[in-house]
Amino acid sequence: MNPSLESERILIFDFGSQYAQLIARRVREQNVFCQIVRHDLPAKRVAELAPKGIIFSGGPSSVYEPNAPQCDPAIFELGIPVLGICYGMQLACQTLGGKVGRNHAREYGRADCRVLESTGLFENVDASTVVWMSHGDQVQAIEGDFLPLAETDTCPIAAVRHRTRPVYGLQFHPEVSHTPQGSIVLRNFLRNVCGCQGLWKMQTFIERSIEDLKTRVGTSRVICGLSGGVDSAVTAALLLRAIGHQVACIFVDNGLLREGESDLVRKTFRDWFRADLHVVDAKDRFLSALKGVTDPQQKRKIIGKVFIDVFKAEAQHIPDARFLAQGTLYPDVIESGGAADGPAATIKTHHNVGGLPKELGFELVEPLRDLFKDEVRRLGTELGLPESLVWRHPFPGPGLAVRCLGEITPEKLATLRHADVIFLDELERSGWYRRTAQAFAVLLPVQSVGVMGDGRTYEDTIALRAVQTDDFMTADWSRLPEDLLARASTRIINNVKGVNRVVYDISSKPPATIEWE
């Protein structure tokens, strides 16, 4: 294995923070490899992983509570640099002799921070800078072992460093965009304190992945599930680069695809890559299984089960197939509560992660498991995929089932596809498609009164959704021009039979998710 990636590993200890994923994303932006791990990972295991540094995330607990999550205190004896953020800072300080208590008032929002020591962690940071606070507790006393590095009006110990150990703490959150110079602070920890050089490069990732795939797969065949989306396409391209003819691609047409999806997959992988492509028409089987089902989680489970059954049946026609490849990404693993050594709560079951039973009969290969979405796009470009495919908006594994709220019927799917095509066409024409991270139409189980011509109508509602995001862990709604929305609405109402109302979703993630189900 190419050692350059692992030699600069940063471990992010997850204490239940909603921002743990963002910390990982910001570390990756500095070209440093990182992994989110359990908060109670033993010091012995940490030593085996030999990270260049450790970051303790924030968390909702109070460190002085009886059942508050703790780390193995022996970690501080390893000599590995530690940066504690919010709860992580309080835990580090309390473990090493400091005192933590409840603040007189919960502090949430922006605060003016004064830097007291402008070297090391705060090198090139303004003497007065804005930071984002989110805490009810704070470090109240640090005895003689810690030195204060920064302060705010309400938090006199906003940042610290240990006098003799490579241990640092920040009461504020450097990973969020509301801390404008937070990336500088994180870079200083990674570069100045941990000595990282920034070796997390896409070409290096490709070389390592090819080496790993060849070693693991040997002469066996690998089945790759295609969906038409970016993730599965990049997975297939990487596999084809690594092991060529040993890859067999299976595309299951589940009847829940975007308009023209099946034709696009055929053209890309049969014509472009000359891949061994198996297309299975299972539309009737999926729609029959979903008949009458309205619960979104139940929809996902059904789709996952039928998908596996169809997949297994088709796989019987591929001799020597031992492995199944999927385009699982790091956010998929985190959101499904399945990050390696991580305790993240399940938000929703991802089709790529939760639908694979133990009796599948294949070993799972997930070459993109450590990547975020923008890293996957960079990888696709490096592998030579066409730009139109690399920059295609993400599409969920359960397809239109999670965008057609309520019961799924062929008629509803046809309505949704037509509206979706019109919306995306307007985005393309106006130059907004590449300026949004993800955009789509949603068919709501809501009918309302309208007037068309001289007649009263009582018809369906389409919701339009467009978001801006770098990592898909958080997202903000896109401020699309009013005239663009007006054109899309007019075209949908005039051309999509059965729709008389169009609304625009202005919810951010969190508290909402990007998809509606």
Known binding-site positions for ATP: 227-233
Integer Cα distance of 4 and 503 in angstroms: 49
Integer Cα distance of 325 and 307 in angstroms: 14
Catalytic-residue membership of 86: yes
* Catalytic residue of the set 34, 71, 86, 196: 86
Residue 35 structure tokens: 């992994």
Annotated binding site: 227-233
Integer Cα distance of 48 and 46 in angstroms: 5
Print burial letters for 28-46: b (CB count within 10 Å at least 16), e (below 16): bbbbbbbbbbbbebebeeb
Integer Cα distance of 45 and 51 in angstroms: 10
Q: What are the distances in angstroms from CA 4 to CA 32, 53, 87, 203, 208?
A: 10, 15, 31, 12, 9
Taking only Cα atoms into account, the Rg of the chain, rounded to an integer number of angstroms, comes to 25
Contacts of 340 (CB under 8 A, 6+ apart): 35, 36, 37, 333
* Catalytic residue of the set 8, 29, 107, 175: 175
- Mapped onto helix, strand or coil, the DSSP state of residue 83 is strand
Q: Within a 13 Å sphere around the CA of 255, how many CA atoms are in the beta-carbon half?
A: 20
- Mapped onto helix, strand or coil, the DSSP state of residue 374 is helix
Q: Within a 13 Å sphere around the CA of 211, how many CA atoms are in the beta-carbon half?
A: 9
* Catalytic residue of the set 173, 350, 393, 418: 173
Q: Residues 246, 250, 256, CA angle at the centre, nearest 5°?
A: 160
Contacts of 232 (CB under 8 A, 6+ apart): 224, 225, 226, 326, 327
DSSP-assigned states of every residue in 109-168 = EEEEEEES--SGGGTT--SEEEEEEEEEEEEEE-TTTEEEEEE-SS-S-SEEEESSSSEE
Please, are residues 85 and 156 in contact by the beta-carbon 8 Å criterion?
A: no
| Amino acid identity, position 339 | A
DSSP-assigned states of every residue in 237-305 = HHHHHHHGGGEEEEEEE-S-PPTTHHHHHHIIIIIIS--EEEEEE-HHHHHHHHTT---HHHHHHHHHH
- Mapped onto helix, strand or coil, the DSSP state of residue 229 is coil
Integer Cα distance of 142 and 162 in angstroms: 9
- Mapped onto helix, strand or coil, the DSSP state of residue 515 is coil
Give the residue numbers marked as catalytic.
86, 173, 175
